[in-house]
């Protein structure tokens, strides 16, 4: 390991991080935004230069607007604002996603782009702004999925919708602070700092797109919700958003610096680089992106299940000075109204792909649970409790219910309780659970992880939606998207299509069950909640 950071290097690091928190505002001296529409498309001005989008279905759509400079030459460093350009940049097609394996890959290190949908340009409309942060954990995904198209939300609620790409996996969350120098001190949270830069772009430019920079709602599913929870505890993100809506995505605790450094050492060893070598980071920077991506598949030995190396936010003491929602909710975000939601059958999305999980017997169930429930309680005791609570459940139904409660739902409960206990001028928090299940595939996946995305976007007919396009799916999309729009406009998700949605409290644990029809329930699955809370909750990747 290298020698401890000296005071002079520490000073350099603090100055670097202060520059990042200030927005690295290289583009803030450009002229104010304006907009025109002509036969060739629709043109708007950002502080870095003009962009040309398209007019589609009565909405102005800009795809692939650059909000940050190419990160290729600044690998593992905080993002930089883009250089100003002359002429009109094309923003009619989605830009590159972050480097990653899977369907959105291989991507590019030049990935700091966002997309904007708006009903009108530079008309002084002061519309609520909704910024969607994509899921895929911290490893995969982009803001360009058809399910995230903002057209219907724009038309439905007279709002501006923004989706974002940012650095992921090793490029965005590899903690090199104890291995390299001051310029990589923030590398474990570089992907989060990209999101901060994107929100600063919204603050500085969105008025020209008809939006109100003083009324920004962030919403996100799975990893997107976790990134939002993390932003709520980051000083650099303070004041950049004003409401939050998270779906099946929580970040209660972050990776500690020791654990994150150990993962970085394992990662470097996988690439044949000695972490103690003085040129370790330089050698890493010189590698092709494809080699770095391949090394992300090394097994994470801290996790029970056989899975690849964890990447996620790091409590580094500066960019992220505390755990996001432990031991309490972040005080800096106490005044932000928040919705925290989950789906009733989360794990059917990823564990339902194995047909064996639908044919389990009681004898094999405990061993199968052992690697998937995450919370460390004897699996045979879990089975016994679920058989007591739900005597009609089959072994497979116990498996899906217990894994959902023991890994996905538990984090939502932790965040809800932390917000409910928050003292001072705390804003309300509303809880929901999606109970309505998809009718596709014979209904076997029920209310699975990601099912609420097309419902909240009112995009049930978009490619990738698994809701079907029946009357029930549309009725639920109406209710959920209107709740998001109400939160964005008023700071309260209630609207005429819902029963009175009361904020979550420790006394009653009020939760809106999104179904047809929706209903408010006190402490749904309370017996399950109490059972799992016999063990402390630690977010995956923390240790």
Q: Express each pLDDT in 296-309 by its tens digit.
A: 999 987 765 557 89
Instruction: State how far the Cα of 322 lies from the Cα of 17, in Å rounded to an integer.
Output: 16
Q: What are the DSSP calls for 493-516, one per residue? A: ---TTSS--PPP-TTT-EEEEESS
Instruction: State how far the Cα of 336 lies from the Cα of 353, in Å rounded to an integer.
Output: 37
**Given this model, what pLDDT does residue 306 score?**
56
Q: Express each pLDDT in 75-121 by its tens digit.
A: 999 999 999 999 999 999 999 999 999 999 999 999 999 999 999 99
Strands 429-434 and 510-514: parallel
Structure confidence at residue 122 as a pLDDT band (50, 70, 90) = confident
Among 43-52, 348-357, 372-381, 503-512, the minimum mean pLDDT is found in 372-381
Query: The pTM is what?
Result: 0.93
Go through the chain and tell me how many residues it has.
543
Instruction: State how far the Cα of 80 lies from the Cα of 75, in Å rounded to an integer.
Output: 11
How far is the CA of 471 from the CAs of 343, 360, 447, 468, 476, in angstroms? 20, 34, 17, 9, 9
Structure confidence at residue 26 as a pLDDT band (50, 70, 90) = very low
Percent of the chain surpassing pLDDT 90: 86
pLDDT at 158 over 50: yes
**Given this model, what pLDDT does residue 29 score?**
34
Give kind and range of the element (H or E) at residue 260.
Answer: helix 257-270
CB neighbours of 417 closer than 8 A, spacing ≥ 6? 506
- Cα-to-chain-centroid distance, residue 87: 34
Is residue 84 a contact partner of residue 27, using CB atoms and an 8 Å limit? Answer: yes
Does 502 participate in catalysis according to the annotation?
no
- Residue whose structure tokens are 């603090």: 14
pLDDT at 347 over 70: yes
Closest CA to 235 of 352, 316, 340, 338: 316
Delineate the domains of the chain, giving CATH numbers in brackets.
Answer: 1-30+41-336 (3.40.50.1820), 342-532 (3.40.50.1820)
Does 323 participate in catalysis according to the annotation?
no
Structure confidence at residue 437 as a pLDDT band (50, 70, 90) = very high
Q: Express each pLDDT in 499-516 by its tens digit.
A: 999 999 999 999 999 999
Does 302 participate in catalysis according to the annotation?
no
How far is the CA of 190 from the CAs of 20, 288, 524, in angstroms? 10, 19, 38
Residue 354 burial (10 A CB sphere; 0-12, 13-18, 19+): exposed
Q: Average pLDDT of 304-321?
A: 88
Structure confidence at residue 427 as a pLDDT band (50, 70, 90) = confident
Is residue 524 a contact partner of residue 530, using CB atoms and an 8 Å limit? Answer: no
User: Angle CA(498)–CA(504)–CA(506) in degrees, nearest 5?
Assistant: 150
**Given this model, what pLDDT does residue 25 score?**
36
Is residue 528 a contact partner of residue 389, using CB atoms and an 8 Å limit? Answer: yes
Using left for φ > 0, alpha for ψ between -120 and 50, and beta otherwise, residue 272 falls in left
Instruction: List the catalytic residue out of 134, 175, 333, 346.
Output: 346
* Mean pLDDT over the full length of the chain: 92
Instruction: State how far the Cα of 349 lies from the Cα of 499, in Å rounded to an integer.
Output: 29
Pinpoint the alpha helices (H) of 80-189. Answer: 151-157, 169-173
**Given this model, what pLDDT does residue 40 score?**
53
**Given this model, what pLDDT does residue 12 score?**
40
**Given this model, what pLDDT does residue 357 score?**
97
Token pair belonging to 77: 């460093």
Is residue 462 a contact partner of residue 432, using CB atoms and an 8 Å limit? Answer: no
Instruction: List the catalytic residue out of 60, 449, 465, 481.
Output: 449
Instruction: State how far the Cα of 401 lies from the Cα of 525, in Å rounded to an integer.
Output: 11
DSSP 110: -
**Given this model, what pLDDT does residue 423 score?**
66
Rg over CA atoms, the chain:
23
Q: Express each pLDDT in 174-215 by its tens digit.
A: 999 999 989 999 999 999 999 999 999 999 999 999 999 999
Instruction: State how far the Cα of 538 lies from the Cα of 67, in Å rounded to an integer.
Output: 34
Q: Average pLDDT of 464-474?
A: 97
How far is the CA of 498 from the CAs of 439, 452, 514, in angstroms? 22, 16, 9
Go through 89-104 and write b for each residue having 16 or more CB atoms within 10 A of its CB, e for each that does not: bebbebbbbbbbbeeb
Beta strands in 211-313 (DSSP E): 211-221, 243-247
**Phi first, then psi: what are they for 483, rounded to 5°?**
-70, -40
CB neighbours of 272 closer than 8 A, spacing ≥ 6? none
**Given this model, what pLDDT does residue 84 score?**
97
- Please state at what angle helix 379-389 crosses helix 395-403, rounded to 10 degrees: 110
pLDDT at 15 over 70: no
Closest CA to 349 of 270, 440, 244: 440
Instruction: List the catalytic residue out of 222, 248, 333, 465.
Output: 222
């Amino acid at each position: 390991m290298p020698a401890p950071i000296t005071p002079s290097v520490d000073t350099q690091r603090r100055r670097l991080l202060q520059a990042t928190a200030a927005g690295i505002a290289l583009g803030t001296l450009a002229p104010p935004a304006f907009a025109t529409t002509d036969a060739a498309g629709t043109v708007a001005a950002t502080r870095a230069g003009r962009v040309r989008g398209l007019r589609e279905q009565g909405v102005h759509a800009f795809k692939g607007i650059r909000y940050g400079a190419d990160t290729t030459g600044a690998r593992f460093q905080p993002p930089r604002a883009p250089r100003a350009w002359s002429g009109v940049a094309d923003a009619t097609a989605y830009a590159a996603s972050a480097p990653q394996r899977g369907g959105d890959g291989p991507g590019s290190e030049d990935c700091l782009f966002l997309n904007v949908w708006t009903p009108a340009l530079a008309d002084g409309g002061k519309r609520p702004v909704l910024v969607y942060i994509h899921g895929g954990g911290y490893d995969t995904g982009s803001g360009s999925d058809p399910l995230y198209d903002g057209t219907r939300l724009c038309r439905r609620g007279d709002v501006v919708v923004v989706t974002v790409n940012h650095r992921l996996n090793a490029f965005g969350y590899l903690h090199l602070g104890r291995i390299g120098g001051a310029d990589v001190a923030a590398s474990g949270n570089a992907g989060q700092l990209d999101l901060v830069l994107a929100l600063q772009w919204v603050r500085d430019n969105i008025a020209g797109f008809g939006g109100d920079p003083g009324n920004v709602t962030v919403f996100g599913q799975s990893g997107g919700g976790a990134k939002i929870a993390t932003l709520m505890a980051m000083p650099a993100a303070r004041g950049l958003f004003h409401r939050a809506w998270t779906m099946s995505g929580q970040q209660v605790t972050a990776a500690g610096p020791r654990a994150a450094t150990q993962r970085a050492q394992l990662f470097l060893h996988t690439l044949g680089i000695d972490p103690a070598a003085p040129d370790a980071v330089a050698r890493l920077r010189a590698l092709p992106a494809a080699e770095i991506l391949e090394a992300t598949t090394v097994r994470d030995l801290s996790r029970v299940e056989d899975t690849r190396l964890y990447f996620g936010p790091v409590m580094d003491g500066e960019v992220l000075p505390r755990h996001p929602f432990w031991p309490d909710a972040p005080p800096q975000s106490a005044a932000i109204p928040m919705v925290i939601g989950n789906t009733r059958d989360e794990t059917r999305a990823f564990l339902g792909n194995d047909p064996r999980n639908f044919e389990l017997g009681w004898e094999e169930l405990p061993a199968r649970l052992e690697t998937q429930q995450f919370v460390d309680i004897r699996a045979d005791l879990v089975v016994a409790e679920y058989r007591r609570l739900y005597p009609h459940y089959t072994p497979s139904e116990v498996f899906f219910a217990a894994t959902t409660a023991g890994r996905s739902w538990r984090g939502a409960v932790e965040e809800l309780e932390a917000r409910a206990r928050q003292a001072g001028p705390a804003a309300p928090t509303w809880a929901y659970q999606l109970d309505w299940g998809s009718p596709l595939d014979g209904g076997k996946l029920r209310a699975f992880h990601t099912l609420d995305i097309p419902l909240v976007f009112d995009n049930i007919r978009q490619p990738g939606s698994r809701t079907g396009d029946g009357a029930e799916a549309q009725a639920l999309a109406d209710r959920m998207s209107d709740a998001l729009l109400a939160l964005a406009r008023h700071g309260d998700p209630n609207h005429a299509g819902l029963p009175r949605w009361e904020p979550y409290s420790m006394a009653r644990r009020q939760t809106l069950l999104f179904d047809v029809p929706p209903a408010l329930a006190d402490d749904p699955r309370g017996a399950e909640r109490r059972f799992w809370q016999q063990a402390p909750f630690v977010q995956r990747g923390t240790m």
